[in-house]
Structure 1
Amino acid sequence: MGPLEIIRESRKHAQATQKKQAESFERLGILGDFAHPYLTLSRGFVVDQLKVFGRLFERGLIHRQEKPVYWSCENATALAEGELEYHEHVSRAAYVKFPVVRLSGALREWVEKAGDGLRGGREGDKLREGDNLNGGDKLSEGDLPENDKLNKHDKLCGGNLHEHDKLNEHDELSEGKLSEGNPTEENKSTHQLEPISALVWTSTPWTLASNRAICINENLKYTLVESDEDGMMIVASSCLDAVRQLKPGLRELGVEFAGCDILGSRYVNPLVGGGAGATETVGSPTEMPFLHGSHVTAGTGTGLVHTAPGHGQDDYLVCRRHGIAPYSPVDARGRFTADLPGPLRDMAGLKVLTRGNDRMIDRVRSLGMCFHVDNHYVHSYPYDWRSKKPVVIRATPQWFIDVSQIKARTIDALTGRVKFCPPRGLRRLTSFIANRDEWCISRQRSWGVPIPVLYRRDTGEPLMSSGVIARAAEVIAAEDVDAWFAPEDGAAMARWLPAGFTGDPAQYTKGRDTMDVWFDSGSSWTVVRDYLRREGILDQAVSRGYLADVYLEGSDQHRGWFQSSVLTAVGSWDPEKVEKGGLEKSNILEKSNILEKSNILDKPIILDKPIISDGSPNLESSTTSTNLEKSTSNLQSSTTLTNLEKSTSNSEKSTSTNLEKSTSPYTANKLTSTSPPVSSTKIALPTLPYHNVITHGFTLDEKGDKMSKSLGNTIAPAEILDGNKQRGIPALGVDGLRLWVSQSDYSSDVTVGPTVLGHVAENLKKFRFTFRFMLGNLHGFGGSAHRDPAADPLGGYAGDPLGGYAGDPLGGYTLDPLDRYTLSRLQALEQTASQCYREYNFARVVKETNFFVNNVLSALYFDIKKDCLYTDAVDSPRRLATQAVLAEVLRTLVSVLGPILPMLAQEVWTASPAFLTRGVASPFIAGWHPVPTAYRRPDLEADFTRLLALRDRIRALTDTATRRDRAVRNSLETAAYVTADPEGKLFAFLKKYNSYLADYLLVSRFVLNGQPPAHARYDYRDAHADIAGLGHCSISLVPSDRLKCPRCWKFTREEGTELCGRCQHVVDRRGRMQVEG
């Protein structure tokens, strides 16, 4: 399939998938303008993304470089760190010996010292300083590669080579001196040295073909070991025990020296044909250096690190400082290419992670380089998040964003202006950004937004300018992105070139790389910006410093969307170029900076000059420009940026002039292009894409195991919505799924399974029953139409100190203490829920609502108020007050639970009386219902804490009577006699609520300081009950001395009557009303 066919098929698939996702979102009760979604494939989005890219280019943040990148062999494309997953991986790791052929003076002394105890008449190959393995060549100044020369005033102190390990004829090597072509006295020594190897460890043996150096740490201690099979080897002292376990017969030679003593020595790689007298071929230098690397640690391997700059980030950075180019004979599918050195070319076509790796180990063995192979080395290894296959690292030319210039400002903005939920998200996101200097944004795919660059057909040199970027945006805005990928040549290419370009358009072709998908999603803040602009509120957003209130995604997006969004926003911000509304205005239509190649590593020549008639850049005076000569790296920092922005690692700094002039075979001469550097401007506050970042975990099964199709433990959302009887999953519907999510601590991984979902079903059922109870008991209630205008505006009860206030929705109802207590707890719930929603703490909303429903409503208010609701007159002040409280509770719970249970909330709203809905069709249109703060009664809540303590004491006695002794069927058969000190606090407290306590304690009669019957059928006692710090009392639970009323079931009927006094009054009044009616 060609690019255009791939694009069309991909577009069809994306549109079909988007339609299904929209349908799923709507079914899940998610509010959104699904008729007008923003899509990254839309023409307007692509154009906005190109404009963001253009601003990044203008700010000097875009550059092209050949360097190692993560590479998906399955999809044949580069990957960013955000596209990786790390899994346990089994590799074949190898310990490999590289023959050392030239010794520094310091290392020679240590080898001689160790060798004194080994010779014992044993004849060995001569290995003198400056000699190769054959011992026939003498070292002269001209024999040393340029990078190994020292300036004449430098000294070797303990073997510590300065900067680039360069040697000069006047520098001292141990006790002897090198002279131009003449052997030193040391060279004339008759001492014969033992052959010596550098022992390295690698978990990627297939990269040994690309070896270009061995890294040591000059601050570590090293030693020499020896065995009959392997000869003498260099190993870090800290790794000696681990190495000895591989071969117990290994012998220490009793010397220890600093890593810096090794610097200046040289070794060969027999795999690529290196060795004494070998001729150098392309890709296989004869002798290679030892280099200092700060990434070499004492903890693993041997303390000597095989270094392949084409296959490792640390390797590349170290070698770059020494002018050693990356070399990567691996193709896009992860196979060895014919660019392998001659002795290895029979491996061409083999997959490097499988057969190629095995073949390389076999070759290591056949050459006598193998010390040990670990066939089952388990370690964490990067995988492609799409293909789920292991990746490789290979050097290819790619486009990058220079994050080092903007990361300090980005971290400052995140730290001071963005809220994270959970808070640890800030540390995670900023640590990723702080440890990142570059972002590889080019991908080798046809589906995506193209990187707007043209290449010369003859040389492959890139042409990127503000004008080229602007033209690409203009053409795509008119014709869609397909136009970029359509084949064009000759004069047709003129439309992609900026005005004023006088060269031959036929000399150029369009690039085929597309942008990283995280650049796509990371540009989505432009949609919010455009929406705010259309609504006329962009100025407000800029003033507050952010566009969207919330970004919500999984914890993996700290490396993805969260990061790419803020990097593109901060990177494209320029305080000197702002339009109305405070957002940067791009001038990519006006500038025409042309990018060309320089012959100096990482020193691009960036022209701001017109193009001459032949289409070549006008190079007049450019190579002598003072600024260009001083510009040693495209990673330079603005002088006004913070220390972190100025501070790039040593590995990122440019090399010296000597390096740039070096003729060493390792010197890179690759194409490296970049955009103009960031100019020094004042620090300003960029408009951030978000104000809150919410991170959720991932779904695990009930055992806490990761869900996997192979394990058969996955649960699809549809199974939760519709149920699965075979798996024991109840049908929860949309509300059940949302309730499970909301009640979970989403800041960590969340478990789900039949048991968990069963609890959710019970919880949902409880909410439904609670609403049904309230709706049923509001039947016939008219709200304010039933108020008593003569009543206290706040109701009140004997001793209630609370006065009324204007506008009280419950004014005119006679509320008792339990009503007031329930409203106080309701107000606390509403305030807590409101705050929790603002903090995105949905689990606490569910927890607090559960507690209120179960403990305040069901177990207390409903349990007690059923009596008056079912048996009082429909117009009794007590019943009306209870209904008014129920209405307030229902309206509040609809607000509190509506965001979590929208279907149930709408259903309740539709069934609610008209005085509550007031003609509004939906609770989500009506908005949040605040409970008046005057309802909050901390003093009353404290009182009910004590009353409930007394209730618990009496309930314990009732349980004994009903469950153990079967003497009582329910508590209404009993009377409670409580005796307290008449002068104490407890007596005064109980007297205050005396008239309500029979109802609140669910007994038929409550007697304070009365004498219980002497000959009661039973008498359950608690002689020393402590009531919440008010004092002690004695409780006696005895049978009621009255009869059961068949209407209300209370034992309050007098002998000789059919009903209790209350019920008789209700019945008689109803009868009179019917007669009168």
Structure 2
Amino acid sequence: MLRLLCRSSAGSQTLVRWARRSQRGGGLLLHRALSCTSSRRCHGTGSGEVNGQPAENGSSNALYRDSVLLPKTEFPMKLTGQKLLDRELQIQQECGFADLYSWQRERKAKNKFCLHDGPPYANGDPHVGHALNKILKDIRNRFEMLRGRQVHYIPGWDCHGLPIELKALGDLGTSGLSPLQIRQKAREFAEGAIARQKAAFQRWGVMADWDQCYYTFDGTYEAAQLKVFQEMHSKGLIYQDYKPVFWSPSSGTALAEAELEYNPEHVSRAIYATFPLVTLPPKIASQKGLESVSVLVWTTQPWTIPANQAVCYMPNAQYSVVKRVDNSEKFLVATERTASIAALLGTDLQTVGTFTGSLLEGGICKHPTIPDKQVPLLPANHVTMVKGTGLVHTAPAHGMEDYSVASQFKLPVECMVDEDGKFNELAGAELQKLSVVTEGNDKVISMLKQCNALLKEEQCVHSYPYDWRTKQPVVIRPSKQWFINTETLKDKAKEALQKVRVLPESARSSLLTMLDRRTYWCISRQRSWGVPIPVFYHKESGEALINKYTVSHIAQLFKEKGSDCWWELPIETLLPPEVLKKSKAGAVSDYVRGEDVLDIWFDSGASWAAVLEAESDSRADVYVEGKDQIGGWFQSSLLTSVAVRNKAPYKSLVVHGFAVSEKGEKMSKSVGNVVDPDVVINGGKGPTEPAYGADVLRWWVAESNVFSEVQIGPSVLNSARDSISKLRNTLKFLLGNLQGFDPRLQAVDPKQMHYIDQYMLHLLREYSIKVTDAYSEFDAGRVIRVLQAFITRELSSFYFSIIKDRLYCDAEDSLGRRSCQTVLEEILDGVTRSIAPILPHMAEEVYLHAPGHDEGETLFKSGWIKSSSVWRRPGLEEAVEGACAIRDCFLSSIPGKNAARYDLTVAIEPGLLFELMESLQEEPTSTTSQLAELMMAARVNLATKMPRDLDPEALLNHGTFLINLEGGVIREESAYSIAVTPTSAARCPRCRRYTANSADCLCPRCQSVISQAH
């Protein structure tokens, strides 16, 4: 039989009857009331001294001081400075932070969670970007481990690449050093950076087995990477070709798209140049007035003019021949660009003829700077009308779209620029050895002026690609390189991406855009520090020798000896007879080993093969990195995995923003706004840089909206410290009131608890569900908001203010006090576990002080929040929240006054609301009922109507409370009235409630407690 909040007392029989008649389908579903005249849950105490600690003013108060059970705990209210730092390190040691990851890997678990760590770059000290990324990952890993999953998380480092090489060599440069000498210095530099970063990650409390990390310079990793390379090569996805690539003169190597950063403030000398039409297009040759026409082109890269091989037009666009009014020069331009060009030249342009672009086929122009050279007019879809003239100067050696046109129409691809970014001999004596982006550019403009081909020059501020390492402009030049044909992979990659969850979802379009932009991926680099491309070249023909036999052999050598062996071993060992035989190649003496290394994006992009393949699914549940990895690691991992396995290496992607200064600016040493995480934790120079400890840094990460730019600075950190301090205060109150309580022996069954205590368990269950959902969504900020709302509203302003009298003044072992302590222990446990992923140091510190577990136990080995569906009992919400509605009405009648000085009369007509209130107070009048405790009044009278002898000075108020049963099947809106009068009772010298007969005697409750104690 259903029991609804009732004990077997006569005063509750009406509630039982109501429960029976409201029963449907074997159960009673009570829903929160939807409306009332005041808020459902009370958030102000309305009282001051009753629930405060008894003051020591007067001898009578002092008599009973020791009988009041005030909070006691050794848990410190504040930890600052060196004490804080020492305590965090002590917690890490005592609670086994270093062994936690290994412990959870060894335990049996039904479910697994794999977060694959994107490798930070091993080229410098740890910074706040590292902190943001690593702590964000650790919060999720600790949450998953707490709720019973086996976490797979192996930290890694990206160890190759030019920045490491340049920093390692410093001022030495590469002159006179062998590849092995360069590699040795680079390795030493990377190892030093890894050691510093690793130490910082451990200090931040990041959970991992720090002795089992992955490094892209390890032989086993390099061997796994070559296996991916081989499989992609065997599928024809990796090939060697001579085509334009982004080339960094400042680095002396080819770059991939992911290695560029675009400078939106780049200033170019843009020009309008004329290409005289020497052969009119046949389809318009008969038109009059087309004599002496020049094709007008616009370019921001004048240095590419000597390499011009064609001028392109848009077949479907309209073009016009226009004549200058001031000097009768005629130009061919796009019709829609005519007005802009006229304004630019400061003269009117008269239209001579207009026609569709397709009619330009067959036209031939004279090259402006190279005598006797002629170039064709060709159709191309990449021509735009946004800027310029609608006709595009085309230099196949120095533009990606230009190269596509050259491939289609068999144009020559002549490179006039060397690896240092200077004109070579093909450019002619005037230009040779001039840097194309500076004096070479100037010289070409000068040459155009000399031959009257320069119509106009202007400064153009536009976005231009820079080398992300040297911060210098790059050029596009053709080079013989190794490429991945991403054009054939794009559709598969997009399809795989559709099955991936992306947070925030807005990042998905950026991922797709980046994929579309990349038609091929240049993966060879002209450096020494990296994984060598395992290719041999024929000495005479230059033909590449690379196949599954050669690559597999090299991979095995790398696994055993590391990739240094590419330079250390004789070529006879790298290319033994059995491999030559299987490859059907000639003698080993016919070959030389290649000198290029692989792009580091290929290095790190193959990490799934080295780290995840041992996992059953071989896919990570999630990758978590900054937004710069949309075109980097996210994409290189996707492309390599789709190429080899036809699936993405991840099920979800989380894309976070960058750490910026408090003003939202990018951090820069020159500006002086860099925040060093080591200074954040350990303090710096002077009082403006206090030691915050690791948990403040973690709180900063958790509280931030990580999907946008994340600000950090003194005010943000101070706010985080203050928030943690307030949380400590709450936890100290909970711990203090659990002194001497052992939940294993003294916990009260929920059915025997006070209703407000049961109600708090219900709210705790709701809280735990919200927190769990937020962590699951990578939304630690919502966890903090839910936590702070729960502490502020449900605990501090509501529950704590109500129960202090029961906690401090009831008998120590009374049912009411133990009921309250049982709930406080559940709240302490739930709140501590809920913050543990964010504040592991403080959570373990609380756990060391908390009752109910043996010495040596740690929180992180004891699981997630334990809540029970039993806590959600039918009728519970209506009973307590109905009382809270009345309480709000009462407190609003005495604003600013002490509720404990008043008697409260509540009149409710017979019905559901009255029966609910009767369950909280069985007697018509009481000073000790649960209803009186909730109201915090001196006395509560409960009746079906107002008494006739009501004090004429009484304050009257009215309200309604709506009860919904079974989803609205039964609805009852109950009216209630209240009368508030000053109490005639005296204040008890022990509990300070106005419930005593006279000022010098104890109230009945306190008399009973004192007599029992003696």
TM-score range, shorter chain: 0.7 to 0.9
Partner SS state of residue 215, structure 2 = coil
In structure 1, what is the equivalent of residue 347 of structure 2?
Answer: 249
Q: How far does the alpha carbon of each residue in 1:315-361 deviate from its partner, in whole angstroms, 9 at most, with x for none?
A: 11111100113222122232222221x3xx32323322222222222
Partner SS state of residue 695, structure 2 = helix
* Aligned partner letter, 1:233: F
* Aligned partner letter, 1:1007: N
Structure 1 residues 1007 and 719: CA distance shift in structure 2, 3 A: farther
Is there any run of 5+ residues in structure 1 with no aligned partner, and where?
Answer: 116-192, 279-285, 533-537, 574-685, 796-813, 963-967, 1072-1077
* Aligned partner letter, 1:325: P
In structure 1, what is the equivalent of residue 888 of structure 2?
Answer: 952
* Aligned partner letter, 1:752: I
Shift in Å at residue 396 of structure 1? 0.8
Structure 1 residues 518 and 250: CA distance shift in structure 2, 3 A: same
* Aligned partner letter, 2:886: L
**Percent identical:** 36
Structure 1 residues 855 and 729: CA distance shift in structure 2, 3 A: farther
Equivalent in 222, 238, 242 of residue 62 of structure 1: 238
Aligned equivalents of 1:322, 1:428: Cα separation in 2: 33
Q: Are 2:554 and 2:574, in contact at CA under 8 Å, matched by a contact in 1?
A: no
Identify the range of structure 1 (450-459 vs 1005-1014) with the bigger mean alpha-carbon deviation: 1005-1014
Q: How far does the alpha carbon of each residue in 1:68-122 deviate from its partner, in whole angstroms, 9 at most, with x for none?
A: 1112222111111112222212222111111111112223234x2x35xxxxxxx
1:694 aligns with 2:654: yes
Shift in Å at residue 253 of structure 1? 2.4
Structure 1 residues 706 and 447: CA distance shift in structure 2, 3 A: same
In structure 2, what is the equivalent of residue 238 of structure 1?
Answer: 336
Shift in Å at residue 712 of structure 1? 2.8
Equivalent in 861, 871, 877 of residue 941 of structure 1: 877
1:566 aligns with 2:638: yes
TM-score w.r.t. the length of structure 2 is: 0.77
Q: Are 1:815 and 1:878, in contact at CA under 8 Å, matched by a contact in 2?
A: yes
Pairing of 1:342-421 with structure 2 (within 5 A): 342=428, 345-375=429-459, 377-416=460-499, 418-421=500-503
Partner SS state of residue 387, structure 1 = coil
Q: Are 1:485 and 1:512, in contact at CA under 8 Å, matched by a contact in 2?
A: no
Structure 1 residues 918 and 1013: CA distance shift in structure 2, 3 A: farther
Equivalent in 303, 308, 312 of residue 395 of structure 2: 308
1:288 aligns with 2:375: yes
1:80 aligns with 2:8: no
Shift in Å at residue 869 of structure 1? 1.3
In structure 1, what is the equivalent of residue 169 of structure 2?
Answer: none
Structure 1 residues 508 and 942: CA distance shift in structure 2, 3 A: farther
Q: Are 1:471 and 1:496, in contact at CA under 8 Å, matched by a contact in 2?
A: no
Pairing of 1:556-635 with structure 2 (within 5 A): 556-573=628-645
Q: Are 1:468 and 1:496, in contact at CA under 8 Å, matched by a contact in 2?
A: no
Is there any run of 5+ residues in structure 2 with no aligned partner, and where?
Answer: 1-176, 922-928, 964-972
Aligned equivalents of 1:442, 1:485: Cα separation in 2: 17
Structure 1 residues 229 and 370: CA distance shift in structure 2, 3 A: farther
Q: Are 1:729 and 1:757, in contact at CA under 8 Å, matched by a contact in 2?
A: no
In structure 2, what is the equivalent of residue 929 of structure 1?
Answer: 865
Q: How far does the alpha carbon of each residue in 1:349-375 deviate from its partner, in whole angstroms, 9 at most, with x for none?
A: 332222222222222222211122112
Partner SS state of residue 479, structure 2 = strand
Shift in Å at residue 448 of structure 1? 0.6
Equivalent in 1040, 1049, 1056 of residue 983 of structure 2: 1040
Q: How far does the alpha carbon of each residue in 1:1001-1034 deviate from its partner, in whole angstroms, 9 at most, with x for none?
A: 3322233455699779x86x46344556845545
In structure 1, what is the equivalent of residue 118 of structure 2?
Answer: none
1:461 aligns with 2:637: no
1:1003 aligns with 2:937: yes
* Aligned partner letter, 1:326: V
Aligned equivalents of 1:744, 1:495: Cα separation in 2: 60
Equivalent in 721, 742, 750 of residue 761 of structure 1: 721
Structure 1 residues 490 and 269: CA distance shift in structure 2, 3 A: farther
Partner SS state of residue 1006, structure 1 = strand
Partner SS state of residue 650, structure 2 = strand
Structure 1 residues 107 and 424: CA distance shift in structure 2, 3 A: same
In structure 1, what is the equivalent of residue 920 of structure 2?
Answer: 993
Q: How far does the alpha carbon of each residue in 1:618-671 deviate from its partner, in whole angstroms, 9 at most, with x for none?
A: xxxxxxxxxxxxxxxxxxxxxxxxxxxxxxxxxxxxxxxxxxxxxxxxxxxxxx
In structure 2, what is the equivalent of residue 794 of structure 1?
Answer: 750
In structure 1, what is the equivalent of residue 185 of structure 2?
Answer: 9
Equivalent in 904, 917, 928 of residue 976 of structure 1: 904
Aligned equivalents of 1:727, 1:265: Cα separation in 2: 75
Shift in Å at residue 244 of structure 1? 1.3
Structure 1 residues 489 and 1024: CA distance shift in structure 2, 3 A: closer
In structure 1, what is the equivalent of residue 275 of structure 2?
Answer: 98
Aligned equivalents of 2:912, 2:263: Cα separation in 1: 67
Aligned equivalents of 1:234, 1:728: Cα separation in 2: 66
Shift in Å at residue 508 of structure 1? 1.5
Equivalent in 281, 285, 295 of residue 108 of structure 1: 285
In structure 2, what is the equivalent of residue 162 of structure 1?
Answer: none
Q: Are 1:4 and 1:485, in contact at CA under 8 Å, matched by a contact in 2?
A: yes
Q: Are 2:524 and 2:599, in contact at CA under 8 Å, matched by a contact in 1?
A: yes
Q: Are 2:483 and 2:521, in contact at CA under 8 Å, matched by a contact in 1?
A: yes
**Larger RCO, structure (CA 8 Å, separation 6 or more):** 2
1:259 aligns with 2:202: no
Structure 1 residues 938 and 351: CA distance shift in structure 2, 3 A: farther
Pairing of 1:862-877 with structure 2 (within 5 A): 862-877=800-815
Pairing of 1:344-743 with structure 2 (within 5 A): 345-375=429-459, 377-416=460-499, 418-486=500-568, 498-500=580-582, 503-532=586-615, 538=616, 541=617, 546-573=618-645, 686=646, 688-723=648-683, 728=688, 731-743=691-703
In structure 2, what is the equivalent of residue 211 of structure 1?
Answer: 308
Q: Are 1:719 and 1:731, in contact at CA under 8 Å, matched by a contact in 2?
A: yes
Q: Are 1:213 and 1:307, in contact at CA under 8 Å, matched by a contact in 2?
A: yes
Partner SS state of residue 623, structure 2 = strand
1:201 aligns with 2:298: yes
Pairing of 1:878-889 with structure 2 (within 5 A): 878-889=816-827
Pairing of 1:883-898 with structure 2 (within 5 A): 883-898=821-836
Partner SS state of residue 834, structure 2 = helix
Shift in Å at residue 937 of structure 1? 4.3
Q: Are 2:882 and 2:913, in contact at CA under 8 Å, matched by a contact in 1?
A: no
Shift in Å at residue 890 of structure 1? 1.7
Q: Are 1:730 and 1:761, in contact at CA under 8 Å, matched by a contact in 2?
A: no
Shift in Å at residue 569 of structure 1? 1.7
Partner SS state of residue 714, structure 1 = coil
Structure 1 residues 407 and 249: CA distance shift in structure 2, 3 A: closer
Q: How far does the alpha carbon of each residue in 1:449-476 deviate from its partner, in whole angstroms, 9 at most, with x for none?
A: 1111111223333222222212322333
Q: How far does the alpha carbon of each residue in 1:258-300 deviate from its partner, in whole angstroms, 9 at most, with x for none?
A: 11111101112222x23xxx3xxxxxxx111111110112222
CA RMSD of aligned residues (A): 2.6
Shift in Å at residue 920 of structure 1? 5.6
Partner SS state of residue 105, structure 1 = coil
Shift in Å at residue 548 of structure 1? 2.1
Aligned equivalents of 1:446, 1:38: Cα separation in 2: 21
Structure 1 residues 364 and 842: CA distance shift in structure 2, 3 A: same
Partner SS state of residue 277, structure 2 = strand
Identify the range of structure 1 (202-211 vs 378-387) with the bigger mean alpha-carbon deviation: 378-387
Aligned equivalents of 2:687, 2:378: Cα separation in 1: 61
Aligned positions, number? 817
Pairing of 1:1022-1037 with structure 2 (within 5 A): 1023-1027=957-961, 1030-1037=973-980
Pairing of 1:770-789 with structure 2 (within 5 A): 770-787=730-747
Aligned equivalents of 2:363, 2:722: Cα separation in 1: 75
Max radius of gyration: which structure? 1
Q: Are 1:471 and 1:495, in contact at CA under 8 Å, matched by a contact in 2?
A: no
Aligned equivalents of 1:524, 1:1012: Cα separation in 2: 83
TM-score w.r.t. the length of structure 1 is: 0.72
Aligned equivalents of 1:956, 1:758: Cα separation in 2: 36
* Aligned partner letter, 1:782: D
Q: Are 2:415 and 2:478, in contact at CA under 8 Å, matched by a contact in 1?
A: yes
